[in-house]
Structure formats: C-alpha cells, structure tokens
Structure 1
Amino acid sequence: MQRVWGGREMERVYGRSLPDAHLPFGESWEIVDRENEHSVVNHGPLAGATLHELWMQRREEIFGAGYDGHPRFPILIKVLDARDDLSIQVHPPVDLAAGLGGEPKTEMWFIADCDPGAKLYVGLKNGVTRADFEKAISDGTVADCVHAIHPQPGDSIFIPSGRLHAIGAGFLIHEIQQNSDTTYRVFDWNRMGLDGKPRELHVAQSLASIDFDDFEPAMDTPDGDTLASCTYFKTVRKALAAGETIANPDGGRFSILSVVGGMLESASGRRFAKGQFLLLPGNAQPLRALENAVVLQVTLP
C-alpha cells in the first residue's frame, strides 16, 4: 500500500516486486481478512480461496476447534516500511471504540530492521498532563510531549489500545494486531499527504482514547521465547539451528509463521525465506530449518 511515509525496503530487503517502480510503499498486509482486503491461498488444492472463505467454510478443519464467535479471522499481520515518521496516533480502547464509531486495536511491533538512531514514539513524557497535551495540539508541538525510544533490530514492544504512539523514520517492522483498521491521528508533523493536501486528523476521538497515565514505557523484555501475550494474540520468537523443526504448539490448532531470518522447508519441499509469512493449519507437519533461522510464531489464545 502506498503511504506518504513509505519507501522501498520490502524490495531491497525481501526481494519483493512492488507495484510501481517509483512510488513509496509503506504497508503490506500479509495475513488479512477485511471486507475489502483478503489473503488468498497461493498453493495446493485450495489455491485461490480467501482467508475469509476458509474461516467461514472450513474453520475447524483448517484452524482447529474452539474459535467460535469470530465473524472474521481475528488477527491481522502487516509489514511496515517507514522511511519518514508516521503520524502520532492512538487506537480506541475496547470500552470506547463503538461509541467513537471505530474498532478497538491492540498490537505489537517486532523490529525486523532499523537505521542507527531511529526512534519510536510511545507514551507520554513524564509529567505531561491532558491540559499540556491539548495546548500542544493548538501550538503544533505535540511531538514535544511524546516519549522517544531507540530500539535495536530484534526488539519488540506491546501497544495496547489507548497508548499514544508513532513509528519514526528508518524502520522495517512486523506488526501483529487485532483485526481492526481504526486509527485516530492527533498530529501529522504539519506535512502534506500524497495528494498535496493535509491528511485528516481526529483530535476529539484521540483525546477520548489516549491513556494519559501512560508515561515513558520501555521496549519489552521477553518472557523466555514469548514477546507478547494478550487476549487477542500470542507471539513467540523461535531461534532454530539448521535441521531443527517448528510445529504448531497445539498440534490440532493453527499458527502463523513469519520468517525473520534464514529459511524453512515444508515436508512437501516448499521453501520459505526471510520476509515470508505462512499459515500452518492444525495437524500440519512440522517445517525444518535449512539453515540457522529466526521465526515469529503467532497463535490465537
């Protein structure tokens, strides 16, 4: 997807062919089941079927038991290429989202790559009050209120609904999130969009959603292999030596694999390289690392 803050790192780092030779691309939705965007099976007897069709028609067979109550596949996974700062934004908390006309969105970021000195903006600086923040909106100085962090490749951070945040310039990020597309921009660096006009801001919704008690969070410390675990998803990072295998943690239920580095091979001989994503059905055979590999494995609690 074209974004004013995007670039061409997915082409350079992952060897992907981008739709246009010159425009900036900021997002690739890897695992998605939205009304107008769908992942599509690209191999085997189900090739051409959408993720939504599989979820609605073959749920227990492919994904496993116990996933009733979700009208759409409940996880959305993206790759984000930020060559410029994203807007300072927030996603609405679950208890406010419907009243604001949106959907709640909790997410996490895994830093696949970043430039030296690149910054994430997360939470408020110590001591910033709501009144201070509202004045900064009027003055065009919101960035002065937001806490900045300098992460390294391989770091991660959990972004619950209500946490003020922005990805700075110089990041390639894997984003795991609830299946939602509601974002409230509160500040966009006083810049123009791709159409030469200021992008829409959502100041009232943002002020209603921001957690004004969220001060200066740090990057997360993993709990063993676990990077994030919440009601909506669990993400673990697996380091595999050549020859080791990875399988679904609950054999009868699916998982999603994101190859951060190295290469995996399926039992049928298909290979998955750095930057590729796959949905491993319930009861699927394990995949083997052809070389030392790092893999994110995402499951639905």
Structure 2
Amino acid sequence: MSIRQPLRLEPIFLEKIWGGRALQPLLPEGLPVDKNIGEAWCLADREGATSMVAEGPFKGRTLGGLMLSEETALLGRTQPDPDGSFPLLLKLLDARKNLSIQVHPDHATAERMGPSLAGKDECWLVLSADEDAEVFLGLSNGTTASEFAEAAGTSDVVALLTSYPVRSGDFVRVPAGTVHSIGKGLVIIEVQQNSDTTFRIYDWDRKDQNGELREQHVESALSSIIYDQDGLEPSPPEWHEQGTSMRAQLFEDESYQGELLRIHELFERDTDKRAGALFVISGQGRIRVSGEEEEQSWSIRSGQTWLLPADLGPHDLLPEDGDFQVLALRSFRGRQS
C-alpha cells in the first residue's frame, strides 16, 4: 500500500526527576498536569513507546504497527534497524536541573556488552537557554583514562570535564563514546539513532523517589568512553540563502541527515525515496503534494512532528504565518548488526 501523505505524530511524555514545565508553550497538545516532564518523544519506535498517528486515514495506528504492515511505503531505500524498527528517535528535552554525566557506547562496544544493547550518536539543537546555561562535552585537556576512572562515580569527575556556554540556536554534535551532560536551564531538540542505551557516570548525588541514590553504571561507562574526542564545541548554524528562504545544513553521515529551513516562499523538496520527518520549530505553513488526480495539502504548525514516508516523493513547503522554521530530517540507514 502506498502512503503519499505526511503523518502527524502525537508526542509521548516522560516524567523526569530533572524535568519541568518548559515544554508547555512549545507543544500544541499541552503537557500532562502536575508532572515534571523532562522528555517529549516526538518520533519513536521503541518497545513500550511507539509514536501514534494523530489524524487522517491512519489515525490511531502506531509507528511500530505501520513498520510491520507498510515498511516499504515508509522507508523506501532507508534501511531499518536490525530488529525491524524505525531507525530515528526525535525528542524534546526540558532540563530544569543538570542531567546526569553519562556516555553512550558505539555500536561495536554495545554489541560486545550484550545483544539487548545498542550504541548511538546524537545531536542537540538548543531552542532556549538561560543566561548561564552550559553543556559538558568531553574531557578536559590532559585528563588520562586512569585519572577519570579514579574520579568516576563521584563529584570529582565534574572538574575533569570541558564545559561550554550555549545559547538559543546553537547546535551540538555528540558522537558515541563522548562523556556529556546537558546543563540546567536548557530546552533542546535531540536527534539520535534509535537506541536508549545510557551509562551514568555521576548524577549530582540525586536521590530517587525512594530516597536512594540513583543507579550509576561506572564500569560499563568506562568501557564505552572514547578518550581522544575533539571538535565538540557548540556552534550556531551556518545559514545560506536559497531564493528568499534560508537553509542551514546541521549534520550528515551514513545514518541520517538534518537541516534547518527558514521558509519565506514556496520551497521544493523530495524524499528521494527515503524516510524523513519535519519538526516545526516556529510559525505555520503547509505541506503540498501534487497527486495524479488532485493537489493535496496539510496545515502544519509550531510544535508538530510530521513523518514523511518515502512514498511521499516530491512535495512543497509553503509559509503561512509567522517565522516558519522547520527541522528537516532524512534517514539513510539504521544500526548495523
């Protein structure tokens, strides 16, 4: 069955000890009441957490279910993850407190640790930042593996990290094996490979709801760290004119691609027979597709996530109201087993 239309997805909300309410104005659905929401999973296909289509003929269908019945229409030339799941995970994060100092393994390391684990790269786009907001990325110059191992699991590890101030609009790439933490006062978009494997190194002496210190995974973390990471400094996007619109390439590798678009006039795109997605950062516009019989279009607005099936093919983005800005993603392949 062909799917020649975009699919709007409902977010999945996760309460976190470090979360808050800052995602409320960003998402048209609103947040669950009386909960500190740390994450909104906007595009997800994980066991127990798979996105649901919000409207149209596929309303109520889950992404996991569509991957079982309509994989070719959704993915086209994109390769799924080894377990058959959709290969991207897109989140919004609200960090009212520092997140744990942590690391994600690369694929080879995760595979050695066990069949249920998976490595991942990820990247962040800062949507808002308090005046003193910072991120921790990589180890400070001269830190040795033995020094870090001795400090891991304690507050001494903080002094061995490199911190960077960040502001709204900054982009951060976090390769697998990089020790990192998102600092308090940040709202970010996080794009990553479809894995949730995280090893905590230090969690700021936080306690869980039972009054116990939160679990740390020091041994696994030390086995996952790549100590010679460089080029991690956050930076603003480099914008280039495309007609009267603007385009900024954020990242591209063998797994996925992302770019920012500020759309001031009709903007032509093509899925190139690969799966993709749009997250509307601000403003309002339309996705227009010219079909064999008639032209169709869908209104899209700030805070919405739209899955673009490979079958969608050529389509236009048209501005309607406000500063119409979107994050556009394209997936090439999932994790390699």
- Normalising by the residue count of structure 2, what TM-score does the alignment of the two structures yield? 0.82
Matches within 5 A, 1:93-112: 93-101=106-114, 102-112=117-127
1:231 aligns with 254
- Answering whether residue 92 of structure 2 is matched by residue 79 of structure 1, we say yes
Identity %: 32
Per-residue CA shift, 1:47-99, capped at 9, x if unaligned? 11111222221122233235366411010111101000000000011111022
Q: Distance in 2 between matches of 1:46 and 1:29?
A: 19
- Answering whether residue 204 of structure 2 is matched by residue 189 of structure 1, we say yes
| More relative contact order, 1 or 2 (CA 8 Å, 6+ apart) | 2
Q: Residue 142 of structure 2 aligns to a residue in which SS?
A: coil
Per-residue CA shift, 1:107-134, capped at 9, x if unaligned? 1111111111200000011111112212
- Answering whether residue 71 of structure 2 is matched by residue 59 of structure 1, we say yes
After alignment, is 209-218 or 45-54 more displaced?
A: 209-218
Matches within 5 A, 1:149-188: 149-188=164-203
The 1:283–1:212 alpha-carbon spacing in structure 2 relative to 1, beyond 3 Å, is same
Q: Distance in 1 between matches of 2:68 and 2:318?
A: 30
Judge conservation of contact 2:169–2:236 (CA < 8 Å) in 1: no
After alignment, is 128-137 or 76-85 more displaced?
A: 128-137
2:300 aligns with 272
Judge conservation of contact 1:125–1:215 (CA < 8 Å) in 2: no
Query: Which of 184, 196, 199 is the aligned partner of 2:214?
Result: 199
Judge conservation of contact 2:99–2:182 (CA < 8 Å) in 1: yes
Q: Which of the two has greater strand per residue?
A: 2
Q: Distance in 2 between matches of 1:191 and 1:69?
A: 34
Q: Residue 89 of structure 1 aligns to a residue in which SS?
A: strand
| CA positional deviation for 1:272 | 2.2
Per-residue CA shift, 1:222-253, capped at 9, x if unaligned? 56621011222111111111x43353352x33
| CA positional deviation for 1:269 | 5.4
The 1:93–1:67 alpha-carbon spacing in structure 2 relative to 1, beyond 3 Å, is closer
1:14 aligns with 27
The CA RMSD measured in Å over matched residues stands at 2.0
Q: Residue 128 of structure 2 aligns to a residue in which SS?
A: strand
Q: Distance in 1 between matches of 2:108 and 2:74?
A: 32
Judge conservation of contact 1:89–1:186 (CA < 8 Å) in 2: yes
Judge conservation of contact 1:78–1:175 (CA < 8 Å) in 2: yes
Q: Residue 152 of structure 2 aligns to a residue in which SS?
A: helix
Query: Unmatched 5+ residue regions in structure 2?
Result: 1-13, 241-247, 289-295, 333-337
| CA positional deviation for 1:218 | 0.7
1:286 aligns with 316
After alignment, is 146-155 or 128-137 more displaced?
A: 128-137
- Answering whether residue 65 of structure 2 is matched by residue 34 of structure 1, we say no
Q: Distance in 2 between matches of 1:117 and 1:177?
A: 26
Matches within 5 A, 1:128-147: 128-137=143-152, 139-147=154-162
Q: Distance in 1 between matches of 2:329 and 2:224?
A: 27
| CA positional deviation for 1:39 | 0.6
Q: Distance in 1 between matches of 2:274 and 2:231?
A: 37
Match for 1:257: what amino acid?
L
| CA positional deviation for 1:283 | 2.4
| CA positional deviation for 1:215 | 5.0
Match for 2:250: what amino acid?
L
